[in-house]
Structure 1
Amino acid sequence: MLHCLALTKTYRSDRGQVDAVRGVDLEVGAGRYAAIIGRSGSGKSSLMAMIGGLSRPTSGKILIEGADLWSLGDDALAHFRNRRIGYVFQFASLLPTLRAIDNVALPLLLDRSGDKKDPYTRATRLLNDVGLGAYLDAYPPEMSAGEQRRVAIARALINDPALLLADEPTSDLDEQTEREIMTLLLQVNRERGATLILVTHNLALAAGAEQIVQMADGVIAMSRARG
């Protein structure tokens, strides 16, 4: 599913060069649940942004389902990212002036590939799947943080992505809501067969992963797989 080859990311700042990711090689199999852990500043979010097609690597390659992600042109990359990758950010990042159902349908509405699937039928089904069937017409400010995160998960699934990336998706939630969100993400992994990669600093959340990758100072300090 995912191959990262000699991946690097360098930023320029007022303090000089920052090597956020340094020569990372990583492989995650299809349908697996992998957790990337590490302290703040370890490079895990920079790695995730490159895998998600949001931040161009300084060097190296990312192959997803055999496609060389960063060799694609801008339009092809946007299409691939929209159709094959689902992203759940640290914060819900919903558009506050759109209803829950509009937020979920948006990626499919923006897809110009000619797919005739009804965005609103799919969005309704997904919101029901995440337990928000009664909130189709609710606006984000009218929902709790946990409910907004559920909407964000439904939005990430609208195109049936093969790869689901979750970057600290529970960091601002209480323990009960955190458990509910993790249950949803693992359900997606098991029932839909989507490869799940979770970035977290919470070791308890990572404990159930089939593959645990620990980052420190921009490199993989430890990688352990089970099953």
Structure 2
Amino acid sequence: MLSCRSVHKVYATDRGPVDAVRGVDLEVAAGRYAALIGRSGSGKSSLMAMVGGLARPTSGTILVDGIDIWSLGDSAMARFRSRRIGYVFQFQSLLPTLRAIDNVALPALLDRSRSRGDVYPRALELLREVGLGDHHDAFPSEMSAGEQRRTVIARALINEPALLLADEPTADLDEQTEREILALLTGVNRDRSTTLVLVTHNLALAGAAEQVVHIADGAVVP
């Protein structure tokens, strides 16, 4: 499902180039749950941004479901990212002026491959699956941090992606909510056979992963 081959990411700064990701090789089979672990600043999020089609590698190749994603044009990349990759960010990313159900439906509406009549029932179904069926008309400001993160997970699933990326999805949550969010993500992996790649600095969260990849100073370490 995911193959990274000699991936590098170099950022230009006032103090000179910074090697955020250095020659990463990574293979994650379809349907697996893989955890990328490492300290803050180790390059995990930079790698995830490249895998998710959000930041272009300086060099190297990234294949998602056999497609060299960074060889695609802008329009093709946007379509592929929308339809094949779901992303749960480490920060709150809901649009504050939209209700929960509108936030969940938005990626499918933007993709324009389905009608509103198909999208909204599916969005409501997903909100029910994450325990928020009674909060479908709530705005983000009316939801707790955990409820917002559940909504983000539902939104990430609206287009039925083959690959789900979760970048520090529990970083700002209490322990109980953290366990609940992790259970939701691993449930998606188990019940839908969706490939899950989770980034965390919390070793305890990686305990259930089938594959654990350690990142330090931008590189994979044994």
TM class by smaller structure = over 0.9
Shift of 1:11: 0.2
Aligned partner of 2:157: which letter?
L
Residue of structure 1 in register with 2:161 after alignment: 161
Alpha-carbon deviations, 1:77-114, whole Å to 9, x = none?
Answer: 000000000000002310000000000000000003x3
Shift of 1:41: 1.2
Aligned with 1:118: secondary structure?
Answer: helix
Take 2:121 and 2:68, find their aligned partners in 1: how far apart are those partners?
A: 33
Q: Which stretches in structure 2 are left out of the alignment for 5+ residues? A: none
Does residue 17 of structure 2 align to residue 17 of structure 1?
Answer: yes
- Higher relative helix content: 2
Shift of 1:172: 0.2
Aligned with 1:105: secondary structure?
Answer: helix
Take 2:132 and 2:207, find their aligned partners in 1: how far apart are those partners?
A: 28
Alpha-carbon deviations, 1:4-24, whole Å to 9, x = none?
Answer: 011000000111100000111
Aligned with 1:20: secondary structure?
Answer: strand
Residue of structure 2 in register with 1:225 after alignment: none
Does residue 6 of structure 2 align to residue 6 of structure 1?
Answer: yes
Aligned with 2:95: secondary structure?
Answer: coil
Map of 1:1-227 to 2, 5 A cutoff? Answer: 1-112=1-112, 114-116=113-115, 118-222=118-222
What is the root-mean-square deviation in Å for CA atoms of aligned residues?
0.8
Take 1:13 and 1:133, find their aligned partners in 2: how far apart are those partners?
A: 46
Take 2:153 and 2:66, find their aligned partners in 1: how far apart are those partners?
A: 25
| Structure 2 length-normalised TM | 0.98
Take 1:91 and 1:45, find their aligned partners in 2: how far apart are those partners?
A: 12
Take 1:158 and 1:35, find their aligned partners in 2: how far apart are those partners?
A: 23
Q: Which stretches in structure 1 are left out of the alignment for 5+ residues? A: 223-227
Instruction: Quote the sequence identity (%).
Output: 73
Shift of 1:75: 0.3
Alpha-carbon deviations, 1:26-55, whole Å to 9, x = none?
Answer: 000000000000011111110000000000
Aligned partner of 1:57: which letter?
P
Runs ≥4 in structure 1, deviation > 2 angstroms?
A: 114-117
Alpha-carbon deviations, 1:118-167, whole Å to 9, x = none?
Answer: 11011000000000000010000000000000000000000000000000
Take 2:132 and 2:114, find their aligned partners in 1: how far apart are those partners?
A: 25
Aligned partner of 1:192: which letter?
R
Aligned with 2:94: secondary structure?
Answer: coil
| Structure 1 length-normalised TM | 0.96
Aligned with 2:111: secondary structure?
Answer: coil
Alpha-carbon deviations, 1:42-78, whole Å to 9, x = none?
Answer: 1111000000000000000000111000000000000
